[in-house]
């Protein structure tokens, strides 16, 4: 497993690298999700570094129609191009792939559905679905032992379906073998 980035300069380079390769204005929440989704950067570290990137004029705030988007400045692009080679290739590749999947998922306007039924034994059958362009992309059926577990699973899926999708895909393709015991 990749060790999280801890040095502020590494985190800043990582953020600039991702924004440079995504190459589009994004809201803070999306940048936060993209940067943190693979567990390479911690939340507090990201927040501090992001503010510093704005203060150092590497990232520019662009208000538009009541929302605030962020883009790289020319200086930020130069830093990203010059220093991204200092990041481990594995971190760059994996994180960029995850970021592009996140953007694609959001742009597709995927429909997220969860429903459940109570079983005779008092447990719950939970069904979680992702529907893209009226086609089923993911369907997970699982049994929850109790109402608390059911609510937790439903909330997790509804809150971050792209993470669940990415996790299932990674498990099925063997990208995260460390979870599977020999």
Domains of the chain, by residue range, sit at: 8-107, 111-179
Q: Which residue, chain included where needed, has tokens 């990201």? A: 46
Whether the predicted pLDDT of 182 surpasses 60:
no
Per-residue confidence at 27, pLDDT binned at 50, 70, 90? Answer: very high
Whether the predicted pLDDT of 6 surpasses 80:
yes
pTM of the model: 0.64
Task: Label residues 37-75 b or e (16+ Cβ within 10 Å = b).
Answer: bbebbeeebbeebbeebeeeebbbeeeeeeeebbebeee
Whether the predicted pLDDT of 74 surpasses 60:
yes
Per-residue confidence at 1, pLDDT binned at 50, 70, 90? Answer: very low
Q: What is the mean pLDDT of residues 74-80?
A: 95
pLDDT confidence of residue 145: 97
Are the beta carbons of 19 and 70 closer than 8 angstroms?
A: yes
pLDDT confidence of residue 177: 63
The three-state secondary structure class of 79 is helix
For domain 8-107, the question of CATH label 3.30.70.1450 is answered with no
Q: Name the residue among 102, 89, 90 with its Cα closest to residue 169.
A: 102
pLDDT confidence of residue 178: 57
């Amino acid at each position: 497993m990749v060790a999280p980035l801890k040095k502020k300069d590494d985190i800043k380079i990582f953020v600039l690298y991702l924004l440079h390769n995504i190459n589009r204005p994004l809201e803070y929440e999306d940048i936060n999700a993209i940067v943190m989704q693979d567990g390479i950067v911690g939340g507090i570290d990201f927040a501090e570094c992001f503010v510093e990137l704005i203060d150092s004029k590497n990232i520019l705030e662009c208000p538009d129609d009541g929302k605030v988007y962020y883009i790289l400045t020319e200086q930020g692009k130069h830093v990203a191009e010059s220093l991204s080679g200092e990041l481990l290739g594995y971190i760059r590749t994996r994180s960029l792939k995850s970021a592009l999947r996140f953007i694609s998922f959001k742009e597709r306007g995927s429909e997220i559905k969860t429903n459940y039924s109570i079983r005779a034994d008092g447990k719950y059958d939970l069904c979680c679905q992702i529907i893209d362009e009226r086609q089923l992309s993911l369907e997970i059926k699982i049994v929850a032992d109790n109402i608390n577990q059911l609510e937790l699973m439903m909330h997790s899926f509804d809150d971050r379906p792209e993470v669940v999708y990415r996790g299932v895909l990674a498990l099925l393709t063997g990208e995260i073998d460390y979870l599977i015991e020999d």
